Chains A and B, each alone.
Chain A
Amino acid sequence: MISPLPPAAVFILGALLIPFFKGHLRRIVMLALPVLAFINLIHLPLGDSWVVPFLGQELVLARIDRLSLVFGYIFILIGLISTIYALHVEETLQNVAGALYTGSALGVVFAGDFFSFFIFWELLTVFCVQLIWARRTRLSMGAGYRYLLFHAAGGLILLAGIVMRVHHTGSIEFGLIGLNGPGSLLIFLGLGINCAWPFVHTWLSDAYPEATITGTIFLSAFTTKAAVYALARAYPGTEALIYIGAAMAGFPIFFAVIENDLRRVLAYSLINQVGFMVCGIGIGTQLAINGAVAHAFNDVLFKGLLFMTMGAVMYRTGKINATDIGGLYRTMPLTCIFCIIGAASISAFPLFSGFVSKSMVMDAAGGEHLRLVWFILLFASAGVFHHAGIKIPYFAFFSHDSGLRPKEAPLHMLLAMGLAAFLCIFIGSFPQYLYSILPFQPVGYEPYTVPHVLAQTQILFFSALAFALLLLSGIYPAEIRCVNLDADWFYRKGGRFFYGLMDTVFNNVNRVCDQWLAKGVTGGINRFCRNAPVRISWWLLMPFYRLGKHAAEKSRHYAQTIKAAVENGVVPIGLSAAVSGLFVLLLFFLN
């Protein structure tokens, strides 16, 4: 029997084989990777395996426990769904980058030491950027570079923290850290950048809508969820995360409502949902951690489904702005239905997946008497229904008739969307299967109670009423073809201001330096050096001329003669000998 490999290895080794196959054979290889990875994962024993000695420490490439397994399952599952969705893509770069990105995410989740964790963490960035650049537009190139800059900075902060941590503890084991020193704070911040915390979230809303149609599905699943996993592993119960998570859940709603690009609306919605997870990790109780992990699992599915439906619209029409599309339900009914299922799931409708996980985090917040946080999460629940639950399907498939009559999405895309939609309903209807794989057992949480169902239904229907009244009263903001800036204002506008400031300051400093140093001091030294031999010769010889038979009025004539002789390099040898001799004498007496 073959020993199981580290979970990441199946995708990484398989990705290296992809370029050697073409057509159907390549598709079979790509589909086989998640299947093999799953078979491999369930054969790995609980605990640490693939422990490799390294510089006196131990690298752990497969740490299997309940927390890593949940993320491993969902990453492999979305790897399969994304691969089915992307079967039409025959571009080697995208095929390979997708598989390597999935493998890197698995590597992060199953790494038991800082070294391998960091390596896989950085690989996530490298392959993610490939999926952004693969679209090959001017906007995607710019977004990819900004993504790279953000994550390179985050990676450096993380590395600095890891170095300090390892130096302090003497161990490279990656486990519970907690906020207890500068090293742990730097690691915390490094993870936070990948988690899209407020003010460092702009890479997400900037880059995800610019990636390829299929690449965005991979992107929506891995980077932020890997960061959520890392926070759940290293910082459970860290109070700061409660407020960071609440802010993440709240602020994107305002930007999502005014956004015209529907994939960017989903990107903001992604930050909003990750906020729930971060908040749950911060609360740190068993219910909260279970809720955060369950919501991460569900979010991968319903957010992936929503991105897939918008990708299908984009694939068929080439457009994704609310101003350009609308009325597509006529010719894309199945995609429309799948989109509504994704929207119902993210909005936490009863019998859909979001309902059984989001409420765990909210109940945990209520249980810890975090009243303000609970209200913010309630507002965020209503807001996400507003922008992702209603806005996305309404503006894409209903709203005004754009006149577009595209074909229904291709079969493989429908299959992928159908699989994700089925899982959203299945988990929402039978949550015990999801609960059985959560980190803390027994879960002991019952989502389908009368008060909970009634309260959630109330929130959703009042949100729907608010949307309808906003629209009918003309208060709902118009979707405009433009770029909305949020925290990226600081580097887009602020960067221009900074450039202008630096231009003004340094060019003026340069001008002053040129005036005073280049033209003033060095000019004076230059003039002095040019005249110095003449002047020195004159100072030395003049007293002798005055003592001699020559009249004083002729001294000016001699001065000019000496000056001309020195400048032309034709000094009489006698004069040179006299000056040299006098100079030696002067030095002798001075000594």
Chain B
Amino acid sequence: MFESVVAGLSGLTHGVSFLVTQGLPNVIMLGVGGVLMYLAIRKGVEPLLLLPIGFGCFLVNIPLSEVMDTGGILKFLYDVGISTEIFPLLIFIGIGAMTDFTPLLENPKILLFGAAGQCGIFLTLLLALSLGFSQLEAVCIGIIGACDGPTAIYVTAQFAPQLLGPISVAAYSYMALVPIIQPPIMHALTSPKERVVRMEVPRESTVSDRTRLLFPIVVTLVTGLIAPKGLPLMGTVMLGNFMKESGVVQRLTGASENEIANIVTLFLGLAIGGTMEGHVFLKPETLAIFGLGFVAICVDTVAGVLLGKLMYLLSGGKINPLIGSAGISAYPMAARVVQMMGQRYDKKNYLLMHAMGANTGGQIGSVMAAAVMLSVLKGMGLI
């Protein structure tokens, strides 16, 4: 009797004794989980993702937790939604349903900003290679520069699942830090004359309903033909947008952008948090990934603004180079930063519509860049 009581009590102390003897990484990661939850709650940093990620990180780092063991809840969510890549794709349907491409269609040439805003991906890929990451790991790290969480998760889950935790957290964190990272670069690269350029806003829309309806079909077809490996990414974004523009499936559109997106976001966040187990996460590579992610966002911004300056010259001063920085996928945050910066130098300058166009171009550009990379990898025989 006494022995069985002692044995039973020892079962209650295993966790504490593990924490004391070999649990330093767990303690650190419990702190990291706490910081993520603090940032989400008190600072409003991507709360929809960082709160469940933080809590998932908390759960998996409680000593002897079995949530990521076979049959555990986070392992189940990971296997169901991330290994299969279903979660990011379901989120993309919601993103497509939420996105209005009209500002882009009003002025299609600003779609080029969406390409320039992906340059950080490729420079970061080269830097990651120089730091000794493998080819596929470097591709996944570069994708942080897409500034697009679901794309980063989709690619990383396939080719470097061991880096999923740090890459996902870096991608979402830097998306949230766009208002802090971009303004100094925008200021440094533009002249006072360029910053105050006012761009015309058409009084009446030049985009017909038919054009809006055909746009997602054409984008899916063209990008699917050029980069078929990325079709699940672009196809789901455009499915959401097509449902929205068709106007005949409002219940599906509403569910995609609300209930489905919310449920999947919760599960996705928890499952990513589950990958942040201390003994796996706390490595020098994690710090390198965060550093490379920062470089990627900076290079995206530099390339966008430089293309903006080129278009300013070619258009005879009609394009404000500041909108180039919105050619990333952080929507609508990057567009709001452009509007804020424009009004800092001229209170009556309204760049928001054009910046929104560049920003939705960035959404297409980020998915396209990932699709191109996947297809190139396939062409090289590496996947």
> Do A and B bind?
no
